[in-house]
């Protein structure tokens, strides 16, 4: 996927990512829901029962083109590495700095980004307890459904169906969002920055205690992913961080000079 859309190219459609799905039947029903509304890119992160799965094919109700094209990943970062914008679905209130969208607004955002050539993805969690905070931290925003708080549980296929339906409505309607001038960076570019930044901060005592490190890193990731930086902007940030890393006060002697 290139940073800019080709002239006249069809808007890119979002990919659906299931994180550690447990039942082949649910994967098949997700594939069926996707096919109902013209989606075909389904990615699985460490499915419990492995892949391929005959139960998934049986319940897909002839959505074989989706099942046949499934790709399996051993980690969430690998599954979203080529994406520019990622939404995480959740029915629970979460701590952090993530923007929270309803399904209509979320699908309008995805549609506008697709018009601009960006590739988006939607994360769905495990059947029993959804996504954890670390996984949500790798997304750009949260999408939640306006269900009754007293009974907020949806199965995966229902949640995918709702999002796919809203996406299909948006394809034939104008939105209040325009395509961004600059596409957000792919997740692999952003993750590379965090892979460099975390040990650099750790060596300089930023995390204070080992117990606080996961939460502090989660907050830092949330803050730095929220704006949707482009690849060029991330390069600027890395340049700033590198300059600070090498900084020493004017007139200060290096270790070799002081010996």
Q: What percent of the chain has pLDDT over 70?
A: 83
- Is residue 166 located within the same domain as residue 48? yes
Instruction: Please give the Cα distance from 28 to 36 (Å, whole number).
Output: 12
| pLDDT (average), residues 82-110 | 87
Task: Give yes or no: residues 95 and 152 share one domain.
Answer: yes
Question: For residue 177, what pLDDT is reported?
Answer: 42
Query: HSE of 108 in the Cβ direction (CA atoms, 13 Å)?
Result: 11
Are residues 217 and 112 located together in one domain of the fold?
no
- Give the start-end residues of each E strand in 82-158: 85-89, 99-101, 120-124, 141-143
Tell me the mean pLDDT in the region 1-22: 71
Identify the CATH number of the domain in which residue 70 sits: 3.40.1280.10
Check residues 205 and 74 and name the one with the higher pLDDT.
Answer: 74
CA gap 103, 248 in Å, rounded: 49
* Residue 19 and residue 64 in one domain: yes
| pTM (whole model) above 0.85 | no
Query: How many Å apart are CA 244 and CA 220, to the nearest integer?
Result: 17
Is 258 within a domain?
A: no
Does 63 fall in a domain?
A: yes
Mean pLDDT value across residues 217-231: 81
pLDDT higher than threshold 50 for residue 90 = yes
Same domain? For 192 and 155 the reply is: no
Percent of the chain clearing pLDDT 90 (strictly above): 45
- Split into its structural domains, the chain has a count of 2
Rounded distance between C-alpha atoms, residue 76 and residue 19, angstroms: 7
Q: Do you know the residue count of the chain?
A: 259
Q: Which of 111, 139, 171 is the last residue of a domain?
A: 171
pLDDT at 73 over 70: yes
Assigned domain for 124 exists: yes
Nearest alpha carbon to residue 101 among 14, 12, 226: 226
Closest CA to 19 of 137, 117, 195, 193: 137
Whether 121 and 26 map to the same domain: the answer is: yes
pLDDT band at 47 (very low <50, low <70, confident <90, very high): very high
Alpha-carbon span 123 to 135, nearest angstrom: 9
* pLDDT value of residue 54: 95
Q: What is the mean pLDDT of residues 185-207?
A: 86
Give the residue ranges of DSSP H helices in the chain. 24-36, 54-59, 64-68, 76-80, 103-115, 133-137, 156-171, 187-203, 213-225, 231-245, 255-258
User: Which of 112, 139, 171 is the C-terminal boundary of a domain?
Assistant: 171
Query: In the sheet where 71-73 sits, what is the strand order?
Result: 71-73, 42-45, 15-19, 120-124, 85-89, 141-143, 99-101
pLDDT for 104: 92
- Please give the C-alpha separations between residue 131 and each of 23, 50, 74, 92, 103, in angstroms, as whole numbers: 16, 19, 16, 10, 17
**Is beta strand 85-89 parallel, antiparallel or unpaired with respect to 71-73?**
unpaired
Mean pLDDT of 237-245: 79
Query: Based on the domain organization, do 85 and 194 belong to the same domain?
Result: no
Residues 146 and 218 occupy one common structural domain: no
Q: Is residue 5 part of a domain?
A: no
Is 111 among the domain residues? yes
Looking at the domain assignment, is residue 253 inside a domain?
no
Instruction: Answer yes or no: do 148 and 235 share one domain.
Output: no
User: Is 26 in the same domain as 106?
Assistant: yes
Band the pLDDT of 6: cuts 50, 70, 90: very low
Given pLDDT bands bounded at 50, 70 and 90, which one contains residue 86?
very high
The backbone region for 20, taken as left when phi is positive above 0, alpha when psi lies in -120 to 50, beta otherwise, is left
Query: How far apart, in whole angstroms, are the C-alpha atoms of residue 233 and residue 176?
Result: 25
Query: Do the domain assignments include residue 2?
Result: no
Least confident of 29-33, 162-166, 214-218, 220-224: 220-224
Compute the mean pLDDT over every residue in the chain, rounded to the nearest whole number: 84
**Residues 27, 150 within the same domain:** yes
Same domain, 44 and 159: yes
The domain boundary residue, chosen from 138, 171, 204? 171
At 203 the pLDDT is 84
By three-state DSSP, how is residue 210 classified? coil
Asked, for residue 255, whether it belongs to a domain, the answer is no
Distance CA 105, CA 149 (A): 20
| More confident call, 17 vs 206 | 17
Render pLDDT for 126-174 as a digit per residue (tens, 0 to 9): 988 899 999 999 999 999 988 887 787 789 999 999 999 999 886 654 4
- Expressed as residue numbers, the domain containing 110 is 15-171
């Amino acid at each position: 996927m290139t940073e800019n859309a080709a002239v006249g190219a069809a808007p890119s459609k979002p990919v659906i990512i299931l994180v550690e799905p447990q039942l082949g039947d649910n994967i098949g029903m997700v594939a069926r829901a996707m096919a109902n509304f013209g989606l075909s890119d389904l990615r699985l992160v460490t499915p419990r029962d492995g892949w391929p799965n005959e139960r998934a094919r049986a319940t897909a109700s002839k959505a074989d083109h989706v099942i046949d094209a499934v790709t399996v990943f051993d980690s969430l970062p690998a599954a979203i590495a080529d994406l520019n914008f990622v939404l995480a679905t959740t029915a629970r209130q979460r701590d952090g700095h993530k923007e929270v969208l309803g399904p209509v607004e979320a699908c309008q955002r995805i549609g506008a980004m697709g018009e601009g050539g960006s590739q988006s993805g939607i994360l769905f969690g495990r059947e029993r307890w959804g996504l954890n905070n670390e996984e949500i931290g790798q997304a750009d925003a949260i999408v939640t459904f306006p269900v009754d708080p007293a009974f907020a549980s949806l199965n995966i296929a229902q949640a995918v169906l709702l999002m796919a339906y809203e996406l299909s409505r948006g394809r034939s309607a104008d939105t209040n969002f325009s395509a961004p001038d600059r596409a957000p960076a792919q997740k692999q570019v952003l993750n590379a920055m965090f892979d460099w930044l975390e040990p650099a901060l750790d060596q300089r005592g930023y995390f204070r205690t080992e117990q606080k490190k996961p939460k502090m890193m989660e907050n830092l990731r949330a803050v730095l992913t929220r704006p949707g930086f482009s690849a060029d902007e991330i390069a600027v940030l890395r340049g700033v961080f590198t300059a600070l890393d090498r900084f020493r006060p004017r007139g200060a002697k290096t270790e070799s000079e002081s010996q």
